[in-house]
Structure 1
Amino acid sequence: MKFNTLSSALNTSLSLVTRAVPSKPTHPILGNILLTASSEVQQVRLTAFDLTLGIETSFEAQVDTPGSITLPAKLLTNIISHLPDCEISLEIGQDFSDNQESDEGDKNPTFIATITSESGRYQIRGMDAQEFPQLPAIEGGTQITVPAFALKEGLSGTLFATSDNETKQVLCGVHLTLENDTIEFASTDGHRLAMIKTSNHVEPNLEVITDPNEDQNEGSTNDLSNDYNDTVSDLKFEVTVPTKALQELEKLLGNTASDTEVTLLVKDDQVLFQGNSTLTTRTLSGQYPAYQQLIPKQFNRQMNVSRLQFLAAVERVAVMASQKSNIIKLDLDSENQQLTLSIDAADVGSSLEVLPVQLSGESLSIAFNVKYLKEAIKAIPASEVKVQLNSNTSPVVLSPVVLSQNIMAASMLLMPVQIQGEQPTKVPPKEPPLPQSKTKNSARKKEPKPELAAV
């Protein structure tokens, strides 16, 4: 195998696929990257796979001799990242002088990759490409084509609220629902909920792909002879994808044009995302919570505030927060149309900020986990935020005042923290209170996180 390319092209591709290389591989080959050079398309494909998450990407190269090899990911990345932006060549040779004999008495060759730049030469020992595990082949299943902007908007507004508790595995990812011309993203860790619904301006290509090994009967649900409207209206697609895989997908989409089409292919416990690069991973099994039931239908208080001003005030006040006192108190003053944010940390000190707001309804004092509040405000895709609430013990919903062009709905639900000494406000009869943790506003005791009832 031999090819020439720019060091910057190889370095960019390596930075994408190395995210699927395990830090502690269970087998030496998993610590390598598979390089496959094709003279037909004049491209080199890079593949990394940790047996759960796989990433593939390609770059243009002048391929003189096609072939494949696996090279140590860390060493190869370190070499290429330190080279100047110049043309390099990579050539694979075999060395029979220092290797072990096979069971048949033949010597197994050692593969040597020689990287030549304008000022130096580097040699790396590689392993046979045949030893590298193949990515799962997804034949048949459900295929969906969606624009990159929908994935970008949905992931940026929900990934922060996923759980890292492996005992509730289905919560360790984002739940995707595609129906008609919308895609809904939802995540919850049991203490908060994030939901983003994006539009799909690119005509959804949603179809059931037939596995050639499966028998086809007349009247089968896999019959694609129906028109587009029947196909979309009859098929609601849902899947839960692990957080780590979607975090890597978000990075892969970072430099992708918003109107680029991304193909999702799902069958059994595997899902594949294919755009400029390809990512494959296992799905999360289990029934995802009925999160829509957690969002109140009506509210008796609403506060409108600038998102940037709100976020900046929370961040300034949060400098006083500590692990033992991470609660921020919000005092909504209806008479003066202002919001007071404060933190009282006995072991550190106290902080207070006042913001002008538009408030309808009676005054109220309420408290939150400062980290949860800050992340929810950051995730709102708008310049102005509306905070809707009923009492200081019932769920609070943050959402945009004005929706952006591609966003059809956005809600960030938080459970407040009840501080001892504060009298709970009355909850409207149609909104039954969810279980609430009572805590003491003390620096000596860490406040437990409030939990959502149905999660």
Structure 2
Amino acid sequence: MKIVCSQVDLKNNLSLVSRAVPTRPTHPILANVLLVANQTKNQVTLTGFDLSLGMRSCFCAEVEEEGVITLPAKLLNDIIARLPEGEVTISYEEEEMEENPLVTINSLSGKFQLRGVKGEEYPELPVVEREEAFLLPVAALNEGLKGSLFAASNDETKQILTGVHLTRNLDTLEFAATDGHRLAVVKTSAIEETKESEEEEINSNPPITEAQNFTITIPARALRELEKILSMAKEGESIALFVDEGQVVFELGQQNLTSRKLDGAYPNYNQLIPNNFERTMVVDRKRMIESLERVSVLSDQKNNLVKFTLNSDNEQVTLSVEAKELGNAKESISAEINGDNFEIGFNIRYLMDGLKALSANEIKFQFNGATQPVIATPLSGAQMTYLIMPVQIRD
């Protein structure tokens, strides 16, 4: 095998697929990336796979001799990232394939040699039966993931809660994530917004039918990697989603992400969201985040508690934090409050996560009792609901 390619192309594609390479592989070969050189297409394909998440990326290169080889992902990444921009040549002698060959990497600055492993030993990515793809607008996916991913559980024992529940219902995409303490739900359009000049093209596209609806739960880890692929998309692009019983595949141009689906019934989260509230508060989101960041310096690591004191008489909410043996902090900000004066406690980190995901200038909080769910929603922009469970205030 012998290929000549751009250091920048190799670095960018390698960096992407290496994200699917496990740090503690169950099989030694999984610590490698698979490199396939295709002379007919003058194309190099790189693959990383941990048996659950797979990422594949292709780029153009001058392929003088075809070949298939796997190379240690971390070492290869470290080497390529440090090479100067310009041409990079990767090669090995075919007669060496009886054993694991020394693969030579030549650049303007010098030469490296890495011991490779035959590509035939690398596991195949799962194949999804290629029926018609679901086309999802990249802008809608970005918006939905930004507003939901942070709320998924990091506790692997919670299984289904470690994913984001994605539902398409005709022209609506709904994203939901919960870890049992908070819930984030985002609704976006399943149809790419287009300009008036493109109306004829819109009318020629058939509307989404009920047969194209779906409901799936995808591991949050896979969706965080999907965000990296989406960041490469052009404005107005859509990504193709293929689904079967156990797997999902996202395809955007030359990039491909494969992930297992999460099994089990996702909680009926809509039942958790109250319909009626006793009091409301509207605050400036940026001001609230800044105040929380300041008082959080003294938050107690055991409960991470911030207390809100709502005062409708002077139209202010006071944020206070008390850490035994350290000190306390208190700060007030103006707020539009409807309802009786009120005290309630929150986990400061959970509250900050939600406020940072809500992109509007003003946020509306809706409250009932001091131990009942609180809802935060933006007054403009994304259609998002953030439910957070209060923390009991103990004297």
TM-score by length of 2: 0.93
Secondary structure at the counterpart of residue 93 of structure 2: strand
For residue 239 of structure 1, the aligned residue among 213, 216, 223 is 216
- Which residue of structure 2 aligns with residue 16 of structure 1? 16
- Which residue of structure 2 aligns with residue 283 of structure 1? 261
- The aligned amino acid for 2:145 is L
Q: Cα offset for 1:260?
A: 1.9
The answer on whether the counterparts of 2:304 and 2:347 sit within 8 Å (CA) in structure 1 is yes
- Which residue of structure 1 aligns with residue 112 of structure 2? 122
For residue 294 of structure 1, the aligned residue among 254, 272, 294 is 272
- Which residue of structure 2 aligns with residue 212 of structure 1? none
The answer on whether the counterparts of 1:37 and 1:43 sit within 8 Å (CA) in structure 2 is yes
What is the CA–CA distance in structure 2 between the aligned matches of 1:91 and 1:165, rounded to whole Å?
Answer: 43
- Which residue of structure 1 aligns with residue 141 of structure 2? 151
For residue 254 of structure 1, the aligned residue among 204, 213, 231 is 231
**Is 1:347 paired with 2:294?**
no
- Cα pair distance change 1:137/1:234, threshold 3 Å: closer
What is the CA–CA distance in structure 2 between the aligned matches of 1:260 and 1:66, rounded to whole Å?
Answer: 32
Q: Cα offset for 1:254?
A: 2.3
Q: Which has the higher helix share?
A: 2
Q: Cα offset for 1:346?
A: 1.1
TM-score by length of 1: 0.81
> What whole-Å deviation, never above 9, does each CA across 1:194-236 have from its counterpart, x for those lacking one?
0011112339xxxxxxxxxxxxxxxxxxxxxxx945x613453
Q: Cα offset for 1:95?
A: 5.7
- The aligned amino acid for 1:241 is I
Q: Cα offset for 1:168?
A: 2.3
- Cα pair distance change 1:56/1:234, threshold 3 Å: closer
- Which residue of structure 2 aligns with residue 110 of structure 1? 100
For residue 131 of structure 1, the aligned residue among 95, 112, 121 is 121
What is the CA–CA distance in structure 1 between the aligned matches of 2:370 and 2:99, rounded to whole Å?
Answer: 71
Q: Which moved more, 1:383-392 or 1:349-358?
A: 383-392
Moved over 4 A (4+): none
Q: Cα offset for 1:136?
A: 0.4
Secondary structure at the counterpart of residue 133 of structure 2: strand
- Which residue of structure 2 aligns with residue 195 of structure 1? 185
What is the CA–CA distance in structure 1 between the aligned matches of 2:328 and 2:303, rounded to whole Å?
Answer: 11
Instruction: Note the residue ranges of structure 2 that are not aligned, 5 or more in a row.
Output: 194-204
- Which residue of structure 2 aligns with residue 161 of structure 1? 151
Secondary structure at the counterpart of residue 81 of structure 1: helix
The answer on whether the counterparts of 2:243 and 2:249 sit within 8 Å (CA) in structure 1 is yes
- Which residue of structure 2 aligns with residue 332 of structure 1? 310
What is the CA–CA distance in structure 1 between the aligned matches of 2:348 and 2:247, rounded to whole Å?
Answer: 37
What is the CA–CA distance in structure 2 between the aligned matches of 1:350 and 1:257, rounded to whole Å?
Answer: 48
**Is 1:4 paired with 2:7?**
no
Q: Cα offset for 1:391?
A: 2.4
- The aligned amino acid for 1:416 is P
> What whole-Å deviation, never above 9, does each CA across 1:321-371 have from its counterpart, x for those lacking one?
122241100011101111100001112110011101111222211111111
The answer on whether the counterparts of 1:94 and 1:109 sit within 8 Å (CA) in structure 2 is no
What is the CA–CA distance in structure 2 between the aligned matches of 1:169 and 1:324, rounded to whole Å?
Answer: 25
What is the CA–CA distance in structure 2 between the aligned matches of 1:53 and 1:399, rounded to whole Å?
Answer: 33
Secondary structure at the counterpart of residue 85 of structure 1: coil
> What whole-Å deviation, never above 9, does each CA across 1:369-425 have from its counterpart, x for those lacking one?
1111111111112121111112222211111111x2xx3x20000111222xxxxxx
Secondary structure at the counterpart of residue 273 of structure 1: strand
- Which residue of structure 2 aligns with residue 413 of structure 1? 387
1:296-315 equivalent positions in 2, closer than 5 A:
296-315=274-293
- Which residue of structure 1 aligns with residue 199 of structure 2? none
Secondary structure at the counterpart of residue 418 of structure 1: coil
What is the CA–CA distance in structure 1 between the aligned matches of 2:76 and 2:110, rounded to whole Å?
Answer: 15
What is the CA–CA distance in structure 1 between the aligned matches of 2:229 and 2:213, rounded to whole Å?
Answer: 26
What is the CA–CA distance in structure 2 between the aligned matches of 1:56 and 1:65, rounded to whole Å?
Answer: 21
The answer on whether the counterparts of 2:345 and 2:392 sit within 8 Å (CA) in structure 1 is yes
1:173-188 equivalent positions in 2, closer than 5 A:
173-188=163-178
The answer on whether the counterparts of 1:160 and 1:375 sit within 8 Å (CA) in structure 2 is yes
What is the CA–CA distance in structure 2 between the aligned matches of 1:258 and 1:151, rounded to whole Å?
Answer: 13
The answer on whether the counterparts of 2:280 and 2:365 sit within 8 Å (CA) in structure 1 is yes
What is the CA–CA distance in structure 1 between the aligned matches of 2:64 and 2:303, rounded to whole Å?
Answer: 63
Secondary structure at the counterpart of residue 11 of structure 1: helix
- Cα pair distance change 1:252/1:347, threshold 3 Å: farther
- Cα pair distance change 1:141/1:285, threshold 3 Å: farther
Q: Cα offset for 1:282?
A: 0.7
The answer on whether the counterparts of 1:141 and 1:267 sit within 8 Å (CA) in structure 2 is no
Q: How many residues align?
A: 384
- Which residue of structure 2 aligns with residue 100 of structure 1? none
What is the CA–CA distance in structure 1 between the aligned matches of 2:292 and 2:275, rounded to whole Å?
Answer: 27
What is the CA–CA distance in structure 1 between the aligned matches of 2:109 and 2:95, rounded to whole Å?
Answer: 25
What is the CA–CA distance in structure 1 between the aligned matches of 2:38 and 2:130, rounded to whole Å?
Answer: 27
Identity over aligned pairs, percent: 44
Instruction: Note the residue ranges of structure 1 that are not aligned, 5 or more in a row.
Output: 97-106, 204-226, 420-439, 442-455
| Structure ID, larger Rg | 1
For residue 359 of structure 1, the aligned residue among 318, 328, 337 is 337
What is the CA–CA distance in structure 1 between the aligned matches of 2:260 and 2:109, rounded to whole Å?
Answer: 44
What is the CA–CA distance in structure 2 between the aligned matches of 1:235 and 1:10, rounded to whole Å?
Answer: 37
Q: Cα offset for 1:237?
A: 0.6
What is the CA–CA distance in structure 2 between the aligned matches of 1:364 and 1:142, rounded to whole Å?
Answer: 54
- Which residue of structure 1 aligns with residue 197 of structure 2? none
- Which residue of structure 2 aligns with residue 427 of structure 1? none
For residue 349 of structure 2, the aligned residue among 362, 371, 374 is 371
The answer on whether the counterparts of 1:142 and 1:266 sit within 8 Å (CA) in structure 2 is no
The answer on whether the counterparts of 2:289 and 2:355 sit within 8 Å (CA) in structure 1 is yes
What is the CA–CA distance in structure 1 between the aligned matches of 2:21 and 2:302, rounded to whole Å?
Answer: 37
> What whole-Å deviation, never above 9, does each CA across 1:79-125 have from its counterpart, x for those lacking one?
111111111111121465xxxxxxxxxx9233222111112011112
- The aligned amino acid for 2:43 is Q
The answer on whether the counterparts of 1:54 and 1:135 sit within 8 Å (CA) in structure 2 is yes
